[in-house]
């Protein structure tokens, strides 16, 4: 089995993985990072989104061997020293979730969105989240939360 070296949420791991192992299964089953959830398993819903070398990716559509040498950030690595990430806080304050299943992927994609475009319009937020499905909120509060963290947003 190929050996991989991967940094996940700032901790380095060496592991032997079967080549067919999906990154999401490696994160959940080998590392216990169950914060990264499996939604659709068809590359549609974005619930399993993580940052791979700083760029959002659907971890059900990446092989663990492809992450060899990479840095992965999951929802479990987003908060720092017990402080919620500003995006997590914004989701909390804007009631941007109901059942919460899409939230890990939604938050990581929202972080990626603002990295790429720090002061998006509402339309650009909706477009930037097109790869993330939420079946509860109608997206309205999700968009509101992201806009509240954007550069130039009134506090």
Partner 1 sequence: MIPAAFDYVAPKSVDGVVKALSSDADEIKILAGGQSLIPVLRLRLAAPTLLVDLRRIPELTGITEHANALTIGAMTTTAEIARSPLIRQHAAVLASAAHAVADPQVRHRGTLGGALVHADPAGDLPAPVLALDAEFIVAGPQGERVVRAADFFQDMFTTAVSEDELLTTIRVPKHTGWAAQYEKFNRVAQQWAIVAVAATVQVANGVVAEAKVALTNMGLTPLRATEVERALAGQAATVGLVRQAAERADASTHPPVDGNGDVAYRRSLARVLTRRALAKALGLDDN
Angstrom distance (rounded) from CA 57 to CA 111: 12
- Build a one-symbol-per-residue string for 80-99: x at contacts with partner 1 by CB under 8 A, - elsewhere: --------------------
Name which position in 112, 125, 142, 144 contacts partner 1 (CB under 8 A). Answer: 112
Binding residues with partner 1: total (CB under 8 A): 32
Among the listed residues 52, 90, 96, 150, the single contact to partner 1 using CB under 8 A: 52
Q: What are phi and psi of 149, to 5 degrees?
A: -95, -15
CB atoms within 10 A of CB 130: 9
12 exposure class (CB count in 10 Å sphere: 0-12, 13-18, 19+): exposed
- Selected from 12, 14, 20, 80, the binder of partner 1 by CB under 8 A is 20
* Paired tokens of 114: 């603002």
Provide CB contacts within 8 A for 62, sequence distance 6+.
Answer: 22, 23, 24, 52
Q: Which is nearer to partner 1, 34 or 66 (CB)?
A: 66
Options 6-14, 17-25, 88-96, 146-154: segment touching partner 1 (CB under 8 A): 17-25
Q: Which residues bind partner 1 (CB under 8 A)?
A: 2, 18-20, 22, 25, 41-44, 46, 49, 52, 55-58, 60-63, 65-66, 109, 112-113, 116, 127-128, 130-132
């Amino acid at each position: 089995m190929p050996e991989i070296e991967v940094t996940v949420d700032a901790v380095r791991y060496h592991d032997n993985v079967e080549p067919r192992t999906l990154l999401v299964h490696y994160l959940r089953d080998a590392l216990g990072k169950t914060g990264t959830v499996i939604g659709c398993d068809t590359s549609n819903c974005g619930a399993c989104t993580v940052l791979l070398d700083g760029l959002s990716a659907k971890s059900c559509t990446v092989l663990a061997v492809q992450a060899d040498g990479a840095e992965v950030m999951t929802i479990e690595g987003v908060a720092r020293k017990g402080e919620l990430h500003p995006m997590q806080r914004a989701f909390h304050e804007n009631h941007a979730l109901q059942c919460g299943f899409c939230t890990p992927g939604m938050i990581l994609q929202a972080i990626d969105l603002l990295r790429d475009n720090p002061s998006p319009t509402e339309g650009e937020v909706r477009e930037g989240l097109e790869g993330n499905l939420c079946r509860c909120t109608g997206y309205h509060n999700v968009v509101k939360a992201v806009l509240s963290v954007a550069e130039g947003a009134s506090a």
